[in-house]
Chain A
Amino acid sequence: MTLFEYLSTSEKVRSALHRDVVAICTEASHCLGLEITRPATAIIAELVFRKISAYGLDLEAFAKHAKRSVINQDDVKLLARRNSSLRDRLNGLCKNTPSVSKDKRRKTTVPVVKPESTRKEVDDENQNKKQKVNMDDEFNLPGPSKVSDNMITDDPDADDDDIILMD
């Protein structure tokens, strides 16, 4: 085990990859009743090493082209664009894991308010965006007069309702 520690990072990656490749290759060839030799697995491991390194450059370029710094699933799917069966396989894998991103979006739902004050809420939001200085006052809502100063509303009777604002 101490010998492994003396290797450089790329050599460690190569040897770990070689071990996994040997496992997959022996299993696949045993399905057909064949044995795979050491030079053959070595060459396959080297092939994978170089291919994935090349893919890394491509993925980085794709993400940069989309003006992102995080590599997406879409970038990886772009790699497989020329191979239809590989593309279909990746799309099939993607369908199993879209729920993660959808759950993250549910944290910012708008609370439901009474229908009379919905228009007020929309106007209020617009005012918030334009006049950020007045935001503290609108949250405290001291009285109806101050509310009517900042907003254009046709419904004076709705002044008593508390306006629930989103962040």
Chain B
Amino acid sequence: MARYNNENDSDKIDPSTVASELKSNIKQDIIKELLHGSFQDNKTKLGNEALTLVVEIAKCLVTETCLRASSEALRDGSDKVDFEHVEKCLPQLMLDFP
């Protein structure tokens, strides 16, 4: 996240303001189903506050990927964010989100 801020001061992209302005969310039921599908033990349950936090992580992941890909597209000079721009961000993204 620190590296991202250093590189993009000239582009003036502030991820936190963009993320706070976003009105659409990922629905809690979707994340709940997804997590329950990956549990190996049937007895494992998920707390409500924990679910809220995971939804927040998922939203951060999407926002961060999108903004990094968008800045790549701006650097390229194109007006559409394409698959290649997302690909370029993947290695650093995988290191940032454990």
**A26-34, A145-153, A157-165: which lies at the B interface?**
A26-34
Give the docked Cα–Cα distance between A47 and B73 (Å).
19
**A122 adjacent to chain B (CB < 8 Å):** no
Taking CB atoms, residues of chain A closer than 8 Å to B50 are: 59, 71-73, 75-76
Among B38, B54, B65, B97, contact of A83 (Cβ-Cβ < 8 Å): B97
State which of A14-22, A108-116, A124-132, A135-143 sits at the interface with chain B. Answer: A14-22
Count chain B CB atoms within 10 A of each CB in A17, A77, A94, A97 and give the residue with the most: A17
The interface centre, meaning the residue of B21, B52, B90 with most chain A CB atoms within 10 A of its CB, is B52
- B-chain residues with CB within 8 Å of residue A51 when the two chains form the complex: 58, 61, 97
Given A9-B37, A69-B45, A93-B52, does the pair A86, B31 have CB atoms closer than 8 Å?
A: no
For B65, the chain A residues whose CB sits under 8 A away are 44, 47
Interface pair A52/B54, CB less than 8 Å apart: yes
Contact B27 A20 (CB under 8 A): yes
Q: State whether the Cβ of A23 lies closer than 8 Å to any Cβ in chain B.
A: yes
A52 touches B34 (CB 8 A): yes
In the assembled complex, A105 has its CB within 8 A of some CB on chain B: no
Q: Are A70 and B47 in contact (CB under 8 A)?
A: yes
Cross-chain contact A55 with B37 (CB below 8 angstroms): no
How distant is B27 from chain A, measured CB to nearest CB, in Å?
Answer: 6
Interchain nearest-CB distance for A49 vs B (Å) = 7
> Roughly how many angstroms separate A80 CA and B61 CA in the complex, as a whole number?
12
Q: Is A64 an interface residue (CB 8 A)?
A: yes
Q: Which of A13, A27, A52 is most buried by chain B, counting CB atoms within 10 A of its CB?
A: A52
Binary per-residue interface labels of chain A (74-103) against chain B in the complex, 1 for a CB within 8 Å, 0 otherwise: 011101111111100110011001001000
Residues of B that sit less than 8 Å from A by CB: 1-2, 13, 18, 21-27, 30-31, 33-41, 43-47, 49-50, 52-54, 56-63, 65-67, 69-71, 73-74, 79-83, 85-87, 90, 96-98
Nearest 5 Cβ contacts at the A-B interface: A56-B38, A23-B24, A56-B35, A85-B1, A76-B53
